[in-house]
Amino acid sequence: MARLTINGTVRDIDVDPNTPLLWVLREQAGLTGSKYGCGVAQCGACTVHIDGNPVRSCVLPVSALSAEQQITTIEGLSKDGSHPLQRAWLKLDVPQCGYCQSGMIMAAAGLLKKNPKPSDADIDAEITNICRCGTYNRVREAIKLAASGLPAKQST
Amino acid sequence: MSMATQVSRRSFLIGSASAIGGLSLGFHVPFAEAAAAKNAAEVNAWVVIQPDDQVIIRIARSEMGQGTLTGLAQLVAEELECDWAKVTTEYPTPGQNLARDRVWGNFSTGGSRGIRESHEYVRKGGATAREMLITAAANEWKVPPSECVAANSVITHQPSGRKVSFGKVATAAAKVTPPKEVTLKDPKNWKIAGKPLARLDTADKLTGKQIYGTDLKLPGMLNATVRACPYFGGKVKSFDASSVSKMPGVRKVMQIDDTTLAVVADTWWQAKTAMDALTIVWDEGPNTAVSSESIAEMLKGGLDAKDAFVQTTVGDAPGALTGAKKTISAVYAYPYQNHATMEPMNATARYTPQKCEVWVPTQNGEASLAAAAEAAGLPVQQCEVYKLHLGGGFGRRGNFQDYVRQSVLIAKQMPGTPIKMIWTREEDMLHGAYHPTTQCKLTAALDDDGNVTAMHMRISGQSILAAVRPEGMQGGKDPAVFQGLNLTGDEGHIGYTIPNLLIDHAMRNPPVPPGFWRGVNLNQNAFYLESFIEELAHAAGVDPLAFRRKLLKNHPKHLAALEAAAKGIGWDTPAPKGVGRGLAQIMGFGSYVAAAAEVSVTDGQMKIHRIVAATDAGHVVNPAQVERQVEGSFVYGLSAALFGECTMQGGRMVEDNFHTYQVMRMAEMPKVDTHIVPSGGFWGGVGEPTIAVAAPAVMNALFAATGKRIRTLPLKKQSLA
Ligand code: FES
Ligand code: FES
């Protein structure tokens, strides 16, 4: 049994404590926005936040987490897709297949939290997620657009 | 209305369109019923209109990120004259296509054909529906249809100014006899097609709402994973189910065919954990002595072999080469590569003796249906496939339906229970449909003026068609090997005019399953040809652009694409200090493409600073989408060029995840400027051709920067220090 706080809600989940957080989110909590891409912390498709820090949930057993820690998934990043990164992503039509994009956005959100105006080098260093469709340049542009402060409501 | 709300409303509607498909309900509701529930009228196979004027456009091809969903909808909407803000899309199922005499044509989504192969009939579909709507309105007004026009989902009777919206006449229009002939618009007059419109499928990808195959949830569903014998040609010798059958959640441990075991459990993680613990003994089969080295030797033997399949021949290349004063020769090699789609292979199946249903991300729904029927042992009419959004395809999810077959074989052992099977990344890496391996020996003669008087290009290596589509072979020859190297043809012809030219293929097929890998054979052919052409230019002491200009004089479209890329990189101005520039061009998938690259090397590390790409795809349906595909092509092509290699050892592949199969990431990604230079008059593909120019442009730039010629990919195996 694990007690987890996911997107602000405390949940008791009946699960083997060795189960990686990714699979608890996907299979027990029903939150499939976080994706399985590699299972070995290589691709970042499974990125979620623990207390605001991006982590690769595919290698994090739930036994390592306490109920006090805040787990945020892509579903909890904003209520309605209005996080500045989500708006920037929409404006630039960043995704192709989209499979890596939850992880990309969560990694980017973690970056902006500690570094609101990242340089290209900061982005290179922090966004190490894999996108096989090749959206990197638009991901970079969208991070910068979000960092530059989007208008509260999009007007275009 | 702001764009944000428009788009999110549209995505809500896409969401509801998939609800029509039954995903959120778990089981499929035929869309005729779903349409009836909303009082929507199917005007024709392509166009459904609701009373509230919402337009649902049916899309037969699969969306895997390439944007075909939006592009094809733009083409239909353009002719339909509907309000683009009211457009949503839905997939007809392969079973419905079969039942309706293939009214939606081919479902196969590969070869960059989504738009170029279907533009005509989907536009006709839109135009026909428009005419039917106009006729329905005219009938109601008792006026001649010729006095009415449609625009923005509204029909206007011009003399009287009377107006009616599509939604009001859709039901009547559905009963109108379709016109036999419709005239399609001149692309000059396009208002929706040809424009850089926002994609229809973005919003749900930003919030985690988009459902991929791996995300599907059906009532009562169990989860499975498989392990197939990793040795090519090997099989299961024995396994001990009792070692795991008591593990938590495990429902069944099964062998599904000679090579493959499956574990079914309550959750996927439980299935995977049990599979990892399962004791399996493999019969390693006949290929354990096969390695990358032995394959390279085998291919090397083909480079000078007497027998080869001849495709392209002009004059007498062997004769001219024998008599030539100056000849240059080089041998190139291209490795095995895995598609490595971000979403591993998966499929969900439910089998009963009466019906087999499969939910699957597939590039070819009809191939999935055929595979399901075969595995189920049921007539195809008793099977159905529901297509899900793909987390990448790149050719892996088209011809090869191994995952559909497996999922049905699993479901068959537990009738009535839907079972979702997901491969691990390791399974995905070890059971690819690999980019084939080839080598190439090029020999050319130069005269005193630096003209190429003869060239022989001998390709040695694996045929894809021999393994996966033998019906496409021509008397033993695989014509697809020569992609981009044919003398003529709309698909891809060589731009260089060389008076004595011979291109042939010594087929050497190692025991590794090959497949169509985004860009297919154009990838290695462009790497070989475009690298070697620069070798010749340097040997002749001529600037590589000037050298190509002369050779391309009879092929202005090839040249125009190259000139656009060269101009974009500033070829006529000196490169920054330490930076080398390289070029490449090719024609493939019906389009003319070129690239120019700038690279430098510091401490043995190459940095790609900038790429300028040029694409002439004839007509462009969505320029923003073309740009995205071109940018993505460099990521795919350069991942392959820099890192991509699957190594054979002891009869199996070595690389089994991204730590050993590295791919390009943000830090390696250069800036890409895309120049779209459509010359009109033809329809070329976009998703693939540019991949082929990525490697040669960069390797040519590397040569310019360092004097080092890379003839064997990937680059990671070469020292630049
Ligand atoms: S799935 Fe976690 S990093 Fe790839
Ligand atoms: S958008 Fe497809 S993997 Fe990134």
Average pLDDT in the B570-584 region?
97
> What integer pLDDT is reported at residue B25 of this predicted model?
31
Q: Which atom of ligand 2 is nearest to the CA of A132?
A: 3
Of B184, B178, B168, B167, residue with least CA distance to B135 = B178
Per-residue pLDDT band for B36 (boundaries 50, 70, 90) equals: low
> What integer pLDDT is reported at residue B19 of this predicted model?
33
Rounded Cα gap, residues A108 and A104, in angstroms: 6
- Would you call B668 helix, strand, or coil by DSSP? helix
Q: What is the mean pLDDT of chain B?
A: 93
Q: Which of A56, A77, A98 is the last residue of a domain?
A: A77
Rounded Cα gap, residues B344 and B421, in angstroms: 10
Residue B6 has pLDDT above 50, yes or no: no
pLDDT tens readout for residues B286-322: 999 999 999 999 999 999 999 999 999 999 999 999 9
| Residue B714 DSSP code | -
User: The tokens of A120 are what?
Assistant: 């290209």
Residue A136: which domain range?
A: 84-147
> What integer pLDDT is reported at residue B452 of this predicted model?
98
**What is the chain B residue with the closest CA to A133?**
B632
Euclidean distance between the first and the last CA atom of chain A, given in angstroms as a whole number: 48
CA B654, B657, B659, B662 dihedral sign is: positive
> What integer pLDDT is reported at residue B382 of this predicted model?
97
| Residue A34 DSSP code | S
Same domain for A72 and A6, yes or no, is yes
B3-190 and B304-337+434-717: same fold? yes
List of residues 6+ apart from B609 with CB closer than 8 A: B579, B598, B599, B600, B670, B671
Residue A91 has pLDDT above 90, yes or no: yes
Which residues does ligand 1 sit against, CB inside 6 Å? Answer: A 36-39, 41-46, 56, 58
Q: Tell me whether residue A7 is in a domain.
A: yes
CATH of the domain at A114: 1.10.150.120
List of residues 6+ apart from A93 with CB closer than 8 A: A138, B198, B199, B202, B624, B628
Same domain for A15 and A50, yes or no, is yes
Share of chain B above pLDDT 70, in %: 95
Q: Tell me whether residue A134 is in a domain.
A: yes
Q: How many Å separate Cα A60 from the centre of its chain?
A: 15
Among the partner residues A39, A98, A138, nearest to B65 by beta-carbon distance = A98
Residue B33 has pLDDT above 80, yes or no: no
Q: From the CA of A131, which ligand is nearest?
A: 2
Average pLDDT in the B559-586 region?
97
> What integer pLDDT is reported at residue B13 of this predicted model?
30
Per-residue pLDDT band for B32 (boundaries 50, 70, 90) equals: low
Average pLDDT in the B675-681 region?
94
Average pLDDT in the A138-147 region?
98
Listed by start position, the domains of chain B span 3-190, 304-337+434-717
Amino acid occupying residue B284: E
Per-residue pLDDT band for B28 (boundaries 50, 70, 90) equals: very low
CA B41, B43, B46, B50 dihedral sign is: negative
Q: Tell me whether residue A10 is in a domain.
A: yes
Q: Tell me whether residue A155 is in a domain.
A: no
Which residues does ligand 2 sit against, CB inside 6 Å? Answer: A 95-101, 131-133, 135; B 65, 342, 392
Average pLDDT in the B459-476 region?
96
> What integer pLDDT is reported at residue B111 of this predicted model?
74
Per-residue pLDDT band for A67 (boundaries 50, 70, 90) equals: very high
Rounded Cα gap, residues B10 and B12, in angstroms: 5
Residue A154 has pLDDT above 90, yes or no: no
Residue B17 has pLDDT above 60, yes or no: no
Per-residue pLDDT band for B220 (boundaries 50, 70, 90) equals: very high
pLDDT tens readout for residues B475-526: 999 999 999 999 999 899 999 999 999 999 999 999 999 999 999 999 999 9
Q: Was domain B304-337+434-717 assigned CATH 3.30.365.10?
A: yes
pLDDT tens readout for residues B655-673: 999 999 999 999 999 999 9
Per-residue pLDDT band for B652 (boundaries 50, 70, 90) equals: very high
Average pLDDT in the B11-26 region?
33
Q: From the CA of A138, which ligand is nearest?
A: 2
Per-residue pLDDT band for B465 (boundaries 50, 70, 90) equals: very high
User: The tokens of A22 are what?
Assistant: 């990714």
Per-residue pLDDT band for B109 (boundaries 50, 70, 90) equals: confident
pLDDT tens readout for residues B340-386: 999 999 999 999 999 999 999 999 999 999 999 999 999 999 999 99
What is the total count of domains within chain A? Answer: 2
Q: Tell me whether residue A156 is in a domain.
A: no
> What integer pLDDT is reported at residue B27 of this predicted model?
41
Per-residue pLDDT band for B649 (boundaries 50, 70, 90) equals: very high
Q: Tell me whether residue A152 is in a domain.
A: no
> What integer pLDDT is reported at residue B16 of this predicted model?
33
Q: Tell me whether residue A120 is in a domain.
A: yes
Same domain for A127 and A71, yes or no, is no
Q: What is the 3-state secondary structure (H, E, C) of B387-440?
A: ECECCCCCCCCCCCCHHHHHHHHHHHCCCCCCEEEECCHHHHHHCCCEECCEEE
Distances (CA, A) of B710 to B103, B239, B534: 49, 46, 12
B 186-205 → A contacts, CB under 8 A? 198-199, 201-205
Q: Tell me whether residue A153 is in a domain.
A: no
Q: In what order do the strands lie in the sheet with A9-13?
A: A9-13, A2-6, A70-72, A47-50, A53-56
Same domain for A88 and A140, yes or no, is yes
Q: Across the interface, do A134 and B632 touch by the CB < 8 Å criterion? A: yes
B41-44 and B55-58 beta bridge pairing: unpaired
Residue A44 has pLDDT above 90, yes or no: yes
Rounded Cα gap, residues B59 and B62, in angstroms: 8
Q: Exposed, middle or buried: residue A30 (CB in 10 Å: 0-12, 13-18, 19+)?
A: exposed
**What is the chain B residue with the closest CA to A73?**
B208
Residue B82 has pLDDT above 90, yes or no: yes
Per-residue pLDDT band for B71 (boundaries 50, 70, 90) equals: very high
User: A155 CA distance to ligand 2 centroid (A)?
Assistant: 28
Residue B26 has pLDDT above 80, yes or no: no
Of B113, B127, B135, residue with least CA distance to B61 = B113
Residue B149's DSSP bridge partners are: B156
Rounded Cα gap, residues B232 and B238, in angstroms: 17
User: B543 CA distance to ligand 2 centroid (A)?
Assistant: 38
pLDDT tens readout for residues B247-272: 999 999 999 999 999 999 999 999 99
Q: Which atom of ligand 2 is nearest to the CA of B343?
A: 3
Same domain for A69 and A6, yes or no, is yes
What CATH architecture is B3-190?
Answer: 2-Layer Sandwich (3.30)
Least confident of A58-62, B9-13, B121-125, B678-682: B9-13
Q: Which of A50, A77, A104 is the last residue of a domain?
A: A77
Stated as kind and residue range, the H or E segment containing B32 is helix B31-37
Rounded Cα gap, residues A29 and A31, in angstroms: 6
pLDDT tens readout for residues B590-644: 999 999 999 999 999 999 999 999 999 999 999 999 999 999 999 999 999 999 9
Same domain for A50 and A115, yes or no, is no
Contact B680, B623 (CB under 8 A): no
Per-residue pLDDT band for A152 (boundaries 50, 70, 90) equals: low
CA atoms within 13 A on the CB side of A14: 4
Q: Which of A30, A59, A77 is the last residue of a domain?
A: A77
